[in-house]
Amino acid sequence: MLVVLLMGFALVVLARTRNRIVVVTDQAVVVLEAGLFASRTPSGPVPLVRLPRRTVLGPPRGFVGSMSLAGEKVWIPFRHHKDVAAANAGLAQL
């Protein structure tokens, strides 16, 4: 019975998970939808959101930090916190 409950919980979590790829260039911040299992590959040809480059990201806090991006709460794994900091530092150079 416990196994069935755990599998049901896992399915609910997977169904609600939305993976995003955030691409920061010198001109824009682009948010793409990513696949559920292939989270490093965009799943659609059209960006979900295109924001101006002056958009400040984060800062995420904690092991899996959250931040709001275009009205959506996104979770940033700790290994990518340095990437968010680098994107924000790049604003000073523009």
pTM recorded for the entire structure: 0.75
In a domain, 51, yes or no: yes
Question: How confident is the model over 68-78, as a mean pLDDT?
Answer: 86
- Count of structural domains within the chain: 1
Pairwise pLDDT comparison (32 vs 7), residue with the higher score? 32
Length of the chain: 94
- Position 31 in a domain: yes
Domain presence at residue 5: no
Average pLDDT, the chain: 84
The pLDDT assigned to 13 comes to 62
Task: Note down the domain range covering 82.
Answer: 18-93
- What six digits make up the tokens of 94? 């523009």
43 within a domain of the structure (yes/no): yes
**pLDDT band of 54, cuts 50, 70, 90:** very high
**Two tokens, residue 27:** 């001109």
Q: Is residue 77 part of a domain?
A: yes
**Is 91 in contact with 53 (CB distance < 8 Å)?**
yes
pLDDT, position 35: 80
| Percentage of the chain lying above the pLDDT 70 cut | 90
In a domain, 34, yes or no: yes
Reply yes or no on whether the pLDDT at 93 is more than 90. no
